[in-house]
Every structure is written in structure tokens, then in C-alpha cells.
Amino acid sequence: MAATSPSVSQPKLRSIKAVAAELPALTSIPSVYNFQTIPNNIINDIETFSEADESMIPTIDFSLLTSSNPEERSKVIQDLAKACQDWGFFMVTNHGVPESMMKAMIEACRAFFELPEEEKQEFEGKHVLDPISEIALEFSKRVRQVAREITRGISESLGLELDYIDKALDLENGLQLLIANLYPPCPQPELAMGLPPHSDHGLVTLLIQNEIGGLQVKPQGKWINVNPIPNSFLANIGDHIEILSNGKYKSVLHRAVVNNKDTRISIAIPHGPAPDAAVSPASELVDRVSNPPAYKAIKYKEYIELQQSHNLDWKSALERIRLYDIEYNN
């Protein structure tokens, strides 16, 4: 979910923390952080912004996914299918990860971000999790269990075998990432962007954040704010669920905006197939006549390379493997 800057000649970007240290003396942001120059007006999509009622956002009670009650499980599988098809994201409650652990993870990342720059640079390119390894490893283990169970639910909701995705994409060796983001106050939030609009590679991303909002999603043609709900995960469907479902389930566009008052911290944990797993529409979900494959098969590691070889922009990587006659223009 990490953003890259536009591919034009620019001064070298300093760390956000270093820039934030100068904020008291700044009345405007350095021009290099001004995202108004990004093509296609992807930042100032104001005319399609909507304040969402939190009751609109789908909520999946995780405890029902693991329930031994057939009626309860059947109902939550239906809810999961609707959330994946109509929204591409949903809140996950009653997930079993202790709230104390979620708060400790946020605080560990906050403490790391507050280290002097020279101390943080000691970890660059090597054992980056060392400062927070104990809590990060335990947290990641618990979150992985939640993600695997959600993936099984998605398999069932598509009419596939419960362990179809597990086996087809070798989730025992699946890739899990942990991405912590810091968004300090910005003197001109209308000109900056924490993360530009994009979708995630992989299957399911689970996200936690501190009490400060800033995430916006675009599930139905309008950007909406997603406010933090205590002791819950925000889950979003990744590009490889869209591929596997042959477009029935959509990976959702999302972005992060900034504000001029509060620091926001978010931690995203994407979960994907094994790097060498080839992902394609499930054969059980396609028909050469009435529902032909919409995407070509591609190894997960090759897809990540494709996505990272381009600036983070909308769903361009997914478009590059779409099977249709209309030529895709960059």
C-alpha cells in the first residue's frame, strides 16, 4: 500500500518525520509534496465525495464465521458475499485479537516513528522489524489466522470448496506483509495526499489505525470516509480475489488523506498467495461462452513486480492483465 512519487525530475524526498519536525515554522508544504500535478485529477475528486453513514459500511461478525451453528454461518457467508460484491471492504468485529495487542502494536510503531532519524536509518534495508519484533511477530501471527478464516469464507461464498483458495494458491506459504504508515499534520492538507488512490495486490488486507480518521474508499463511485471503530479491523479485498472470482468480487480503490491538526498512524497487513502461485479465474466460475475468463493467469510474484514497476495509480496493474479487446492506455 506504499505510494511512490510521480516520475518527474524532483528533489530527493526527505522522510515525512523530518518534514514534520519543521511544521511549526511552515505555512505551506514544499512543492515536491504537492500532488495537484498528478494527471487525471485523481486527488481532487471532490465532486464524487460523500460523507458515509457508518451504518452503511458492511460489518462481518468473525465469531459467526467460526460458529458451529449452520444457520449462523450460512447467514454470515451471505453477508460476506454481499460485502465483497457490492463494497469490496468491510469491518471485522469479534475477531479474537485482543484489543490490548492492537493498541500495543500502534504504540510500538509510534515509538519507532519518534526515534531520531539516524537511529531509524540503522534498520533501513535489513532487520527493519527489530525495534518492534516481539509485538509485531505475535500480532502478525494472530492476524494471519483471521485472514485465513476470512479467505475460507470467501471461498465458500463463491460456491467453491472451503479450502479451495488455501490449496490453489498455497496459502500455507502465502506472503504476509506488515506496513506501518505515519501521517503527521499538514499545513495544507488540500494540496497533499497521504496515499494516492490504488487497490492492493493479494487476497485480503486487514488494517488497524489510531483514533484519527483519514482513510477514504470508493466502493460505489463516491469517495467516503471510513472512521476508526475501536477493536475492529477494516478488511479490503485485493486484486487477486478479483482475479480468482473472475470479476465478481471487486478490489476497492482507497486512499489516505491528511489533516492539519492530528497525527494518524495506520498498520496494514496484506495477505497474498505463495510467490510462485499462478493466479487465474477459478475454472469453476468461468464458462467459455457465457462467462469467459476476464484475466490472464500470472504468478503472484510477477504481479507484484508489475505493480511496483509503475507508480501507484488506480488499478493499472490489474488492467494490464485484463482480457478484453479494447486497448488499455497508460
The model's pLDDT over 77-134, given as tens digits with 9 standing for 90+, comes to 999 999 999 999 999 999 999 999 999 999 999 999 998 888 877 777 666 566 788 8
Give me the architecture of the 31-320 domain, per CATH.
Sandwich (2.60)
Q: What is the mean pLDDT of the chain?
A: 85
Cβ-proximal residues to 41 (8 Å cutoff; 6+ apart), any chain = none
Contact 89, 83 (CB under 8 A): yes
pLDDT of the residue at 43: 46
Tell me the whole-structure pTM to 2 decimals: 0.86
Range ranked top by mean pLDDT from 39-48, 78-87, 211-220: 78-87
Other Cβ atoms closer than 10 A to 318: 22
d(CA 84, CA 64): 17
Burial category of 111 from C-beta neighbours within 10 Å (exposed 0-12, middle 13-18, buried 19 and up): exposed
pLDDT of the residue at 186: 87
Q: How confident is the model at residue 140 (pLDDT cuts 50, 70, 90)?
A: very high
- 20-29, 44-53, 180-189, 192-201 — which is least confidently predicted? 44-53
**Pairing mode of beta strands 223-226, 49-50:** parallel
